[in-house]
């Protein structure tokens, strides 16, 4: 079970509590073809979700099994570390720092999250490949430097392999502290394959190693193939590895004065940063458009400004500070990380305030994502000029014409709806099921808008004079009597009842009447106006017959 509690009720991991909650099955897709939370909940072993009603009461239980005690002990360490970081740096800086170290995102203010998302920097919040690469690379580089600085040891041990072992230990410890969420686990496996390649005298960064990591992940988590995080992380990594293989390596001159060497190194570093950010953004763009329907217009320059801070200041300082905090010595390093986070959030806030910083783009037809994936693979795996044949395929999601959006959306329980008018999604009940309505509007490239073109009472809405679709909506669980239903049908061409199907009066003939029985079978619905009538597309048939679709 997964229960949402009042944010003010801070409950430490391992605490036993008693509460009253409203529970239900994991929700189905908010719209036909949309994200299926029930699928992920089934693979995560979550059988029900809900929210707490009333206060939480502490209780005393019998000691849990040994394995659960170990998990609770690790989570308690993570929680205490997150609290120490927030107490040291404050909520504005410490919330992000705690999320980047322990994976706890509860301390981050909502406005800060929205600003990071609008600036294209939201990927820094969740623990993923970037964080694992920085932590593992920092440990690898520091260990190799320490061995090289000790001539006696450098002549007697394989420094590179010892550094790889240190990097592997660092990412394993980071995975443990982060709570091993799926993105962090995938990043750990990828990093572990790279470090293992060094230990076995193989090339660390190669497309072969990336393929091995992907096979391991899919063997452990077959469901990850449909996860946006898996698709985006491996597309970006494949593009970066292909860029590294194609990057020209100029011959180094001997006895070059240090100012010239510094200028050359700075030019190479700037060019590599620009190239990496551009290539990674292009590789993940099709998946971001299709799954999240958002474009951070200034995401590239924002990432270019923040990348040095994240790579050379924030993450190394957090890694050292978190490791030393167990001895009470991590404060100075956490303060340095806090300064970097303050600069990063300033960049995010400035970019988010820019006009047109974020655009909403409708999802393309489902097959365009497969075309884009094929194009990216051609660009990354093929050698020679023929690889550029994949470029138009990689742009399929962005360039393919969008179909005409539906005229009407109805939630999976029939309790609310949205009506399309131009580029706006009019919400007769803007306070109800807001998340589902916003998700549907974003997938269709529309803007959710509260409207007064529907006249709403306590349990129902009827269309006003300016309604683009004459929709009548009744969200009470009791079926209306014949007179009330006849009144709804007299006002509308589409009538939606949350209650089960009543006896249809004569006034409802010729109307599209959708009842609770229809939504129980079909889930959320999209309606298209056709010359010969209304065409209804249901969400449930698109899900197929799966263990989580019953």
Average pLDDT over residues 5-29: 83
Determine the Cα–Cα distance for residues 381 and 248; give it in Å rounded to an integer. Answer: 17
In the numeric block, the tokens 């690379």 are attached to 137
Does residue 158 sit in helix, strand or coil?
coil
Residues 37-62 pLDDT 10s: 999 999 988 989 988 888 888 888 88
Contact 14, 72 (CB under 8 A): yes
Q: Which residues contact 133 (CB under 8 A, 6 or more apart)?
A: 187, 191
CA angle in degrees (0–180, nearest 5) for 341-345-349: 175
Output the pLDDT for position 52: 87
Output the pLDDT for position 253: 66
Contact 242, 379 (CB under 8 A): yes
Is 90 exceeded by the pLDDT of residue 254? no
Contact 49, 2 (CB under 8 A): yes
Closest CA to 70 of 136, 16, 14: 14
Determine the Cα–Cα distance for residues 469 and 491; give it in Å rounded to an integer. Answer: 11
Output the pLDDT for position 452: 84
In the numeric block, the tokens 């001539």 are attached to 151
Residues 443-473 pLDDT 10s: 999 999 988 889 888 888 999 888 999 999 9
Determine the Cα–Cα distance for residues 366 and 439; give it in Å rounded to an integer. Answer: 17
Q: What is the dihedral of CA 499, 502, 506, 511, to 10 degrees?
A: 40
Distances in whole angstroms, Cα of residue 61 to Cα of each of 3, 15, 17, 64, 470: 19, 10, 9, 8, 56
Distances in whole angstroms, Cα of residue 510 to Cα of each of 425, 486, 497: 26, 12, 16
Residues 127-172 pLDDT 10s: 877 788 888 988 999 999 999 999 999 999 999 999 999 999 999 9
In the numeric block, the tokens 């990674």 are attached to 280
Structure tokens at 242: 């292909």
Residues 294-353 pLDDT 10s: 888 888 889 888 888 888 889 889 989 988 887 888 889 999 999 999 999 999 999 999
Output the pLDDT for position 262: 76
Residues 516-540 pLDDT 10s: 999 999 999 999 999 989 999 999 9
Output the pLDDT for position 86: 92
Average pLDDT over residues 74-79: 88
Residues 357-416 pLDDT 10s: 888 899 999 899 999 999 999 999 888 888 889 999 999 999 999 989 999 999 999 999
Q: Where along the chain do its domains lie?
A: 68-226+308-357, 408-543
Q: What is the dihedral of CA 522, 525, 528, 533, to 10 degrees?
A: 50
Distances in whole angstroms, Cα of residue 27 to Cα of each of 32, 181, 414, 444: 13, 21, 13, 20
What is the DSSP code (8-state) at residue 256? -
Closest CA to 314 of 17, 85, 72, 38: 85
% of the chain exceeding 90 in pLDDT:
42
Output the pLDDT for position 252: 66
Determine the Cα–Cα distance for residues 198 and 160; give it in Å rounded to an integer. Answer: 8
Residues 182-207 pLDDT 10s: 888 988 999 999 999 999 999 888 88
Is 70 exceeded by the pLDDT of residue 251? no
Structure tokens at 47: 């059988």
| Residue 28 pLDDT class (50, 70, 90 cuts) | very high
Average pLDDT over residues 415-422: 93
Contact 321, 338 (CB under 8 A): no
Question: Which helix H or strand E contains 420, and what residues bound it?
Answer: strand 417-421
Output the pLDDT for position 481: 84
Is 90 exceeded by the pLDDT of residue 124? no
Output the pLDDT for position 356: 81
Average pLDDT over residues 211-220: 92
Contact 471, 464 (CB under 8 A): no
Distances in whole angstroms, Cα of residue 515 to Cα of each of 331, 417, 478, 486: 60, 13, 11, 14
Residues 84-117 pLDDT 10s: 999 999 988 999 999 999 988 888 898 999 999 8
């Amino acid at each position: 079970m997964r229960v949402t509690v009042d944010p003010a009720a801070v409950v430490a991991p391992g605490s036993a509590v008693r509460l009253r909650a409203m529970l239900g099955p994991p929700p189905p897709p908010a719209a036909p073809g949309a994200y299926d939370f029930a699928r992920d909940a089934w693979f995560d072993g979550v059988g029900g979700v809900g929210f707490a009603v009333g206060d939480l009461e502490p209780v005393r239980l019998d000691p849990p099994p040994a394995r659960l005690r170990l998990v609770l002990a690790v989570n308690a360490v993570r929680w205490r570390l997150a609290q120490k970081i927030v107490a040291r740096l404050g909520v504005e800086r410490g919330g992000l720092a705690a999320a980047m170290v322990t994976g706890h995102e509860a301390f981050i203010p909502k406005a800060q999250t929205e600003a990071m998302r609008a600036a294209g920097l939201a990927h820094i919040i969740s623990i993923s490949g970037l964080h694992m690469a920085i932590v593992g690379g920092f440990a690898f580089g520091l260990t190799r430097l320490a061995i090289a600085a000790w001539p006696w040891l450098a002549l007697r041990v394989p420094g590179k392999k010892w550094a790889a072992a240190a990097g592997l230990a660092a990412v394993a410890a980071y995975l443990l502290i982060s709570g091993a969420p799926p993105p962090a686990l995938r990043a750990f496996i990828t990093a572990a394959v790279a470090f293992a390649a060094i230990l076995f005298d193989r090339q660390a960064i190669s497309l072969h190693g990336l393929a091995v990591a992907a096979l391991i992940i899919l063997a452990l988590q077959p469901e990850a193939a449909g996860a946006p995080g898996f698709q985006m992380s491996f597309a970006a990594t494949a593009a970066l590895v292909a860029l590294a293989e194609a990057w020209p390596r100029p011959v180094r001159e001997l006895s070059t004065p240090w100012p010239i060497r510094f200028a050359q190194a700075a030019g190479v570093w700037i060019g590599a940063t620009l190239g990496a950010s551009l290539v990674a953004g292009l590789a993940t763009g099709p998946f971001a458009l299709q799954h999240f329907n958002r474009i951070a217009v200034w995401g590239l320059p924002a990432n270019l400004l923040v990348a040095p801070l994240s790579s050379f200041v924030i993450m190394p300082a957090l890694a050292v500070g978190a490791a030393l905090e167990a001895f009470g010595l991590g404060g100075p390093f956490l303060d340095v990380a806090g300064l970097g986070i303050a600069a990063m959030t300033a960049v995010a806030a400035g970019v988010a305030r820019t006009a047109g910083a974020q655009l909403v783009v409708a999802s393309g037809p489902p097959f365009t994502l497969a075309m884009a994936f094929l194009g990216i693979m051609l660009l990354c795996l093929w050698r020679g000029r023929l690889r550029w044949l994949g470029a138009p395929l990689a742009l399929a999601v962005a360039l393919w014409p969008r179909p005409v959006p539906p005229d009407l959306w109805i939630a999976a329980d029939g309790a609310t709806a949205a009506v399309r008018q131009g580029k706006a999604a009019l919400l007769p009940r803007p306070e109800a099921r807001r998340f589902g309505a916003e998700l549907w509007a974003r997938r269709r490239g529309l803007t959710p808008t509260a409207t007064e073109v529907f006249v709403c009472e306590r349990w129902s809405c009827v269309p006003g004079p300016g309604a683009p679709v004459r929709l009548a909506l009744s969200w009470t669980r009791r079926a209306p009597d014949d007179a009330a239903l006849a009144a709804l049908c007299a006002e509308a061409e589409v009538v939606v009842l949350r209650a089960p199907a009543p006896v249809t009066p004569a006034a409802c003939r010729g109307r599209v009447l959708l009842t609770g029985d229809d939504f129980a079978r079909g889930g959320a619905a999209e309606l298209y106006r056709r010359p010969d009538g209304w065409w209804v597309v249901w969400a449930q048939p698109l899900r197929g017959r799966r263990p989580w679709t019953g």
